[in-house]
Chain A
Amino acid sequence: MKKRASVFLWAGGIISGLMLCIILLGCFWTPYDPTAMDPKAKFCAPSLTHLLGTDNFGRDIFSRVVDGAGTSFFIALCVVAIGCAAGILIGSLCGYYGGLPDLILTRVCDSITAFPSFLLALVIVTVAGPGTENIILALGILFIPSFARIVRSEFARCRELNYIKSARLMGAGGARILFRHILPNTFPVLCSAITIGFNNAVLSEASMSFLGIGIQPPYASLGSMLSDSQSFLHSAPWYALGTGGAIVLLILGFSLLSEGLQLKGQR
């Protein structure tokens, strides 16, 4: 088990690390301008000049994929940050203090997590309108319950442990116990939750952009690019393969990481 966990962690780390490097590099430099059109170079097959070929406007797909992956990554990061921060706050208070508010919030979280996040995001986007901020906000709110649930159960478990009791005896205040003593102990569980949440965020954003209710043009996003590429499946299959491949790699890296973290946590 130990060996397998480290294999997963290494594989996931290498894939996500590579993607991250490319994305970071893409913030400053891409081989071509992602929005520059070149009518002479329409539908070029992948070659050394265009790594993943060009699309119907002669735009370099590799540069666009890097740009789009950056957008997806940024959105997923914001979503997880919102969900994680609010989830930790709610989950820690509920788990540590318990009582009626805990009961109500747990019920609410349970009923929200029973629904596919996609459906709820759909409602929020219908009401608030599409756009990057609204997507981040909608998905971020939807990710709160799952984090809150995990954090709550960890805090409820730690509450009764001896080191917390002794900290209380030594006169530590609520905030100090919550965030100085218990929170660091929830990191292993939180880490795998974050990686899973990140995957779900990337997938949800890609699905929504694919349907045209996510990131709006002119911003490139992997989902909307995949949706564009569908019309040229026959004439330019590399467009779809390159874009879809980027989504798969982005998700695969993090899912391997989360699998490794879970296996490591089991020991």
Chain B
Amino acid sequence: MGSDEDIFPQEYFVYFKKKWQSQGTYLPKDAEASYLQFAQTKQRKEAGSMKYLTKKICTLIITLFIVSLLAFLAFQVIPGDPTTALLGTEATAEAREALRQELGFDRPVLLRYFDWLLNFLRGDMGMSYNYKMPVSEMLLDKLPITALLTLLSFGFTLVLSIPLGIWAGSTKSRALDLGVTVLDQIVMSVPSFFIGMLACFVFGNLFRLFVPGDFVSYTVSWGACLGYLVLPALSIAIPRIAMTVKMLRSSIQTQLQQDYVRTSRSRGSGRKKILRRHVLKNALIPVITFLAVSAAEIMTGSIIVEQVFTIPGISRLLLASISNRDFPVVQAIVVVMAAWIVVVNFVADLLYQLVDPRIRLR
């Protein structure tokens, strides 16, 4: 989009018309009409873009709503009475009834859902059955660490996989091709927790570069915290990097065989220029979707890898709550995670549209 495509009000057009005419520039007879038409189309396009955004935001809100409803309902169909878990099997019927009223179980499900949702939006996620503590306080302690790990890992995936993928996709060499393919297949098959354990063994036990379990919280020292998180983040990222590289590579190779590349070559453009200006734009489209899926997988991966590196994130709280059947905690964690996934998908959708405006039309 150059400056010549900017839209001027009609007066500007009249002004430029005079200027051009005085300079002797040729103006076709229907210049004004075609200019107006152009301006209209452009405006309509921009309106379409806004419409797309509004539509996507509406979908986002609806999806979040459905997800929260499902997360709420899933914990309502639990076999057995939640009061049994709290009071034990020997509680009297009156005590049970009193607790049911206190927890609000005697009211209709939908009413309880809306109460829960409103409270949730206000930051009140209910009380933990087990610890008798507000869930939001418990999460506030643990969530930032998991979020940090997830973001760091996603950053690694992004920063390492795209250059590697471009390099692997644009270099033509049979040996390299074979090497990358074989390496990709092998690395993709190693679960992240096993990579984490290997990293613990190699860097912790053999080289003694760090002590597994000696985590420093970010409240104490950012540097030490991030330093400790590098290895876990890498062990989550490595299988994802292998998958992304494989995808980007095949995507670039498919694009390089298209006709427009040959045309561009025949017009004398250099390989690098074609790659940068034409091929990458097309090749990155499927990769964006894949990276959005990766962001979700990385988050679940970080739950597992936290156990390997004994990072005091959300993982241990989640597992303890599952085995104690402490539903409010699990519910809150699931909703937070699901919201993160939905938001990532939303951002991916927008990026998608930015890279490929044709998407809007579908």
Partner-B contacts on A (CB < 8 A): 4, 8, 111, 114-116, 118-119, 122-123, 125-128, 199, 203, 206-207, 210-213, 226-227, 229-230, 233-234, 237, 240, 244, 247-248, 251-252, 255-256, 259
- Identify which of A119, A230, A233 contacts B337 (C-beta below 8 A): A119
User: B233 contacts the other chain (Cβ, under 8 Å)?
Assistant: no
Is there an interface contact between A230 and B205, defined as CB atoms closer than 8 Å?
Answer: no
A244 contact set on B, CB distance < 8 A:
190-191, 194, 197-198
A125 to B319, CA, bound (A): 11
| Cβ-closest chain B residue relative to A253 | B189
User: B225 contacts the other chain (Cβ, under 8 Å)?
Assistant: no
Given contacts A115-B341, A116-B297, A213-B323, whether A206 and B74 have CB atoms under 8 Å apart is: no
User: B78 contacts the other chain (Cβ, under 8 Å)?
Assistant: yes
> Which of the listed residues A116, A213, A256 has the most CB atoms from chain B within 10 Å of its own CB?
A116
- B142 to chain A minimum Cβ distance, whole angstroms, is 16
B200 contact set on A, CB distance < 8 A:
230, 233
B315 contact set on A, CB distance < 8 A:
211
Is there an interface contact between A211 and B74, defined as CB atoms closer than 8 Å?
Answer: no
- Identify which of A114, A116, A259 contacts B299 (C-beta below 8 A): A116
- B207 to chain A minimum Cβ distance, whole angstroms, is 13
Is there an interface contact between B74 and A251, defined as CB atoms closer than 8 Å?
Answer: no
Is there an interface contact between B334 and A119, defined as CB atoms closer than 8 Å?
Answer: yes
A4 to B174, CA, bound (A): 12
- Identify which of B197, B323, B345 contacts A230 (C-beta below 8 A): B197
B79 contact set on A, CB distance < 8 A:
127-128
- A155 to chain B minimum Cβ distance, whole angstroms, is 22
Is there an interface contact between B307 and A210, defined as CB atoms closer than 8 Å?
Answer: yes
- Identify which of A127, A230, A247 contacts B78 (C-beta below 8 A): A127
A213 contact set on B, CB distance < 8 A:
319, 322-323
Is there an interface contact between A123 and B197, defined as CB atoms closer than 8 Å?
Answer: no
A119 contact set on B, CB distance < 8 A:
300, 334, 337-338, 341
- Count of chain B residues with a beta carbon within 8 Å of a chain A beta carbon: 46
Question: What are 23 A-B pairs at a CB distance below 8 A?
Answer: A111-B63, A118-B303, A119-B337, A119-B341, A123-B74, A126-B327, A126-B330, A127-B74, A127-B75, A128-B79, A207-B304, A213-B319, A213-B322, A229-B197, A230-B200, A233-B205, A237-B205, A247-B194, A251-B191, A252-B186, A255-B185, A255-B188, A255-B189
B319 contact set on A, CB distance < 8 A:
211-213
Q: Is the interface of B mostly helix, strand, loop or mixed?
A: helix
User: B201 contacts the other chain (Cβ, under 8 Å)?
Assistant: yes
Chain A to chain B: the 7 pairs with minimum beta-carbon distance, closest first: A252-B189, A244-B194, A251-B189, A118-B300, A116-B300, A126-B322, A116-B296
Is there an interface contact between B322 and A122, defined as CB atoms closer than 8 Å?
Answer: yes
A178 to B302, CA, bound (A): 43
A4 contact set on B, CB distance < 8 A:
181
- A238 to chain B minimum Cβ distance, whole angstroms, is 11
Is there an interface contact between A116 and B189, defined as CB atoms closer than 8 Å?
Answer: no
Is there an interface contact between A252 and B185, defined as CB atoms closer than 8 Å?
Answer: yes
B189 contact set on A, CB distance < 8 A:
199, 248, 251-252, 255
Is there an interface contact between B191 and A125, defined as CB atoms closer than 8 Å?
Answer: no
- B173 to chain A minimum Cβ distance, whole angstroms, is 15
User: B77 contacts the other chain (Cβ, under 8 Å)?
Assistant: yes
| Cβ-closest chain B residue relative to A244 | B194
A227 to B315, CA, bound (A): 14
Within 8 A of A (CB), among B185-217: 185-186, 188-191, 193-194, 197-198, 200-201, 204-205, 212
